[in-house]
Amino acid sequence: MAKLSRLQVYELMETTGMVPLFSHQDVKTSKEIIDACYKGGARVLEFTAREYNAHTVFEAISTYVRENYPDMAIGIGSVTDAASASLFIQLGADFIVTPVFREDIAIVCNRRKIAFFPGCGSLTEIAKAEEAGCEIVKLFPGAIYGPEFIKAIKGPQPWTSIMPTGGVAPTTESLTKWFESGCTCVGMGSKLFIKNESGKFDLEKIEAVTRECMETIKKLKK
């Protein structure tokens, strides 16, 4: 079961403004990444279900977050069907993220009052997602649409909350463009999870860059 209500998840996303997202086959490494993100100020984290053992890793890190970071929301991304969504909800997901809008997943999440953030790429898809109860929609892939797309959407639908994912860089320039366009928060993946020369995650760098992003976003949201 989720430890946070969907209203709490929405509030965390809106106030912090960033959702780091990553995937890894190793539980220990995943916990280290979580530690670095939390120390850097992140309070929402998405683990993407891309690896063959994603469910076992997620079960372990969900428990880890519950025991060590009770104020952090942890969810699962890259979910493609209702059965998988149900499984991850049982494993403690606070929210579900998908690459596309799926009504069957929306139904499952609404039954359990779990936050659902579907990937959308048109005003029609966004409207359908909102009709299905989605409070925040994911603009994916963000790099294809860009900040101007959000500006255009916010014109006729100022109530729409959007999280661009893909194409967001951990720089002041990139974050400024996205937040000035009217986004609620941003999803950030590979560009945030920096590796050193040996190919291992640079945990100190990840923590530092996360902190810099959080501070920049806080200023932009004032």
| Domains of the chain by start residue, with CATH | 6-117+168-221 (3.20.20.70)
Sign of CA dihedral 63, 119, 192, 174: negative
Q: CA-to-CA distance for 120 and 138, rounded, in angstroms?
A: 6
Q: CA-to-CA distance for 63 and 112, rounded, in angstroms?
A: 19
What pLDDT does 48 receive?
97
What pLDDT does 24 receive?
96
What pLDDT does 1 receive?
81
Contact 192/170 with Cβ under 8 angstroms? yes
In the numeric block, which tokens belong to residue 110?
């609404």
At which residue do the structure tokens 């209500």 appear?
A: 5
Alpha-carbon distance values, 69 to 26, 81, 176, 197, 213 (Å):
19, 28, 29, 30, 20
0.75 cut: is pTM over it?
A: yes
Q: CA-to-CA distance for 195 and 42, rounded, in angstroms?
A: 19
What pLDDT does 199 receive?
85
What pLDDT does 222 receive?
83
Q: CA-to-CA distance for 26 and 65, rounded, in angstroms?
A: 16
Closest CA to 145 of 132, 131, 162: 162
Q: What is the pLDDT along the chain (222 residues), one digit of tens a residue?
A: 899 999 999 999 999 999 999 999 999 999 999 999 999 999 999 999 999 999 999 999 999 999 999 999 999 999 999 999 999 999 999 999 999 999 999 999 999 999 999 999 999 999 999 999 999 999 999 999 999 999 999 999 999 999 999 999 999 999 999 999 999 999 999 999 999 988 899 999 999 999 999 999 999 998
